[in-house]
Structure 1
Amino acid sequence: MSISSPPTVLDGRLFATIPEVAGILGYDERTIRRGIRDGQIPATQVGATYRVPVAWIRAQALVDTPSGSAA
């Protein structure tokens, strides 16, 4: 079994909307907005909205939860 990448709706795109990011990563939209505001999530402002790089989303979707130090 292989790890799948984020939904194909993002294939060929460079950026995703906040609702898309929230759905893919499993967080509330307010949490995503807070991460952008605090500088933890890279984003580009387009008018009154923000777009998050798909490459960053893919990297986050493939990261396992930390299980301690790699010693």
Structure 2
Amino acid sequence: MSNSNCLEGFRCPECGSYEPFDIEVKTTVTVYDNGSGDMEHAEWDDDSQCTCVECGHMGIVGAFTSDSESKS
């Protein structure tokens, strides 16, 4: 079943898995002297590193999105 939330359009090009993925993100965290607080914002783009947790395939996010399949 395809994704319809924050992973909409994602699919591993190697094994076909729809989730989960380890994605390198840029984030903002409120940090205190005694530790960090909640993550407030995380983002990635087509050039962010991505790994399929199911099969270990690694690449960039752009290679894991359905849009990239139609561009190739």
Same fold flag (TM > 0.5): no
Structure with greater helix share of residues: 1
When normalised by structure 2's length, the TM-score is: 0.24
When normalised by structure 1's length, the TM-score is: 0.24
Structure with greater strand share of residues: 2
Structure whose alpha-carbon radius of gyration is higher: 2
